[in-house]
Amino acid sequence: MTLFPTTVAGSLPKPSWLAEPNKLWAPWRLAGDDLAAAKLDATLIAVKEQEDAGIDIVSDGEQARQHFVHGFLEFVDGIDFARKVEMGIRNERYKAMVPTVTGALTLKGRVHAAEARHARAHTTRKLKITLPGPMTIVDTIADAHYGDRVKMAFAFADLLNTEARALERDGVDVIQFDEPAFNVYMREVSDWGIEALHRATAGLTCTTAVHICYGYGIKANIDWKSTLGGEWRQYEETFPALAKSRIGQVSLECRNSKVPMSLLKLLDGKDVLIGAIDVASDQVETPEEVAAVIAEATKYVAREKIVPCTNCGMAPMGRDIATGKLKALGDGAKLAREKFG
């Protein structure tokens, strides 16, 4: 394996013929069979653009889903999408109208089979597919059935496990769970969050990862970050428990972040996905800036455990900017290899 293999947190912007650009929850521009075919075409482009940028572990770019949580929930029975409730999510950081769980949760069928198999058929690189984490899901949906958030999270974890095992059979190399809620409910991470992830990853032999971030570069998140003070120490409370977990990789926000890099020492033994690309800024990093983040990480993480990555998904960004940032990531890792290899 090359030193500093690169990857992305997950999502990439969608082409404007597929969905409205520059927004989250962008409406699709096609329907039915046309939409299904267009999602696969966009997946292929996303894979190719990552390859050309020098990304070693490519993702499907999340081209086939509208939102990182609801893209999964669409395939779950037991949810009433018409019964919307206003809920303060991420500990009241913002309000959202969310659907309600009204019965026992079951999967309608496969969730990401089409895009995972299409990506697998067209790349020889390692392939990553992301799924929402159980804690983040239950922070984004109301409950009128389970009467207990942890019980509901475990029910979602079992469904995620079914899909994750099937993705592994499709030839996926890395399955990542996105858990921004791990940076909000820090005590619950060790109380039950990691246990829920263990249920979601039970029986997998492929690489497993968890992505913990401070959110997309949207206003509610930027405002929240400005309240966190000069040093962001949320990770300090959860890293020791994650280091003891069975999850193989932890994906973090480092570029332009106020997270003290020394906290990475607490993840001893894990592969650490170092966010070296800021997704909240349209300024494209230089390869030197990316290499500098990697160099800083080598002070606290063994070199062979460092995987340069983006801070978070790039779904709401301009396409040209995202492409430039991907290339900066690939080139920056190359620079770092020359320096440390």
Chain contacts with Zn ion (rule: CB under 5 A): 213, 312
**In contact, 107 and 76? CB cutoff 8 Å:** yes
Nearer to Zn ion, 55 or 312 (CB): 312
- Distance in angstroms (rounded) separating the CA atoms of residues 179 and 238: 12
**In contact, 226 and 277? CB cutoff 8 Å:** no
Nearer to Zn ion, 142 or 213 (CB): 213
Nearer to Zn ion, 146 or 177 (CB): 177
Task: State the minimum distance, in angstroms, from the CB of residue 174 to Zn ion.
Answer: 16
Strand order in the sheet with 94-107: 76-89, 94-107, 142-143
- Distance in angstroms (rounded) separating the CA atoms of residues 83 and 225: 31
Q: What angle do CA 78, 23, 167 make, to 5 degrees?
A: 45
Task: State the minimum distance, in angstroms, from the CB of residue 10 to Zn ion.
Answer: 8
Nearer to Zn ion, 155 or 280 (CB): 280
By C-alpha distance, which of 330, 336, 243 is closest to 296?
336
How many other β-carbons are positioned within 10 Å of the β-carbon of residue 122?
15
Beta carbons within 8 Å of 232's beta carbon, 6+ residues apart: 214, 225, 257, 258, 259, 260
Entry field: residues in the chain: 341
Nearer to Zn ion, 93 or 337 (CB): 93
Nearer to Zn ion, 23 or 83 (CB): 23
Nearer to Zn ion, 146 or 216 (CB): 216
Task: State the minimum distance, in angstroms, from the CB of residue 27 to Zn ion.
Answer: 22
Nearer to Zn ion, 62 or 170 (CB): 62
Task: State the minimum distance, in angstroms, from the CB of residue 316 to Zn ion.
Answer: 12
- Distance in angstroms (rounded) separating the CA atoms of residues 253 and 301: 15
Task: State the minimum distance, in angstroms, from the CB of residue 310 to Zn ion.
Answer: 9
Beta strands (DSSP E) in the chain are 57-59, 76-89, 94-107, 126-132, 142-143, 174-178, 207-211, 249-253, 271-277, 306-310
Task: State the minimum distance, in angstroms, from the CB of residue 68 to Zn ion.
Answer: 8
Task: State the minimum distance, in angstroms, from the CB of residue 93 to Zn ion.
Answer: 14
20 DSSP 8-state letter: -
Q: What angle do CA 100, 31, 74 make, to 5 degrees?
A: 20
Task: State the minimum distance, in angstroms, from the CB of residue 264 to Zn ion.
Answer: 17
Residue 298 one-letter amino acid: T
How many other β-carbons are positioned within 10 Å of the β-carbon of residue 193?
27
Task: State the minimum distance, in angstroms, from the CB of residue 146 to Zn ion.
Answer: 26
Distances (CA, A) of 210 to 9, 196, 197: 10, 12, 9
Nearer to Zn ion, 329 or 335 (CB): 329
Residue 201 one-letter amino acid: T
